[in-house]
Amino acid sequence: MTATTDRPHMLTEDFEAVARIAAREREGTRLEFIYGVIRSKAMPDGDHGRITQWLTRICLQHRPELWLHPGQGIKAQQNRAGRAIPDAALAPSDAFVGQGDWVDPEPILMVVEVTSWDSDTHRRDHVEKPRAYAETGIPVYLLIDRAKCEVSVYSEPEGHRYALVRTLPFGRDVELPDPVGITLQTEQLKDWVR
């Protein structure tokens, strides 16, 4: 990134105030603040929601001590200056009790993004979010790409990137590495794409 793109458009606390007002004024408005730029996050459609349900059920079966928290805002990036809303975050059930809209990411084992059909989904989910989540130190980033019918697993965060990225087509078994330790059978994902 260049010096101009590293400079935020506003302070983090100003963004938080804007996000609270937007959410209160317009139902369903969800704003993120990644690398100093405000972006709106698309509302999930029915298939998007069904994928999250599917993944929640699998996580509960294999890791009942954890919960797949949907839509939880987290402090992201280097120095926790960004604000991201993953589609879900795998963490202990009570990991975020007593915290506000934007929680400490320390207990998160995995974040999940399911692509939307909006125009900036590639930049957001394939470029900006992996970098932000790696900088945050989140061990696993699971990306379910409905347009490409692929699942990507990012692991081993190292600074601004994940050292390992494994991408497989829907229908293949996908191993989520430790600390998650779950294998996903992804055949059913083929039913929830356009």
Give pLDDT tens digits for 72-95.
999 998 778 899 999 999 999 999
Long-range contacts of 66-71 (CB under 8 A, 24+ apart): 66/90, 66/91, 66/92, 66/93, 66/109, 67/91, 67/92, 67/93, 67/95, 68/112, 69/95, 69/96, 71/30
Query: Over the chain, what is the mean pLDDT?
Result: 89
Contact 34, 132 (CB under 8 A): yes
pLDDT at 23 over 90: no
Alpha carbons 95 and 87: distance in angstroms, whole number? 17
3-state DSSP call for residue 83?
strand
Burial of 171 (0-12, 13-18, 19+ CB in 10 A): middle
The residue ranges of every structural domain in the chain are: 44-192
pLDDT digits (tens, 9 = 90+) for 149-173: 999 999 999 999 999 999 999 999 9
Contact 125, 143 (CB under 8 A): yes
The pLDDT of residue 136: 95
Q: How, if at all, do strands 102-103 and 161-169 pair?
A: unpaired
User: In the CATH scheme, what architecture does the domain 44-192 have?
Assistant: Alpha-Beta Complex (3.90)
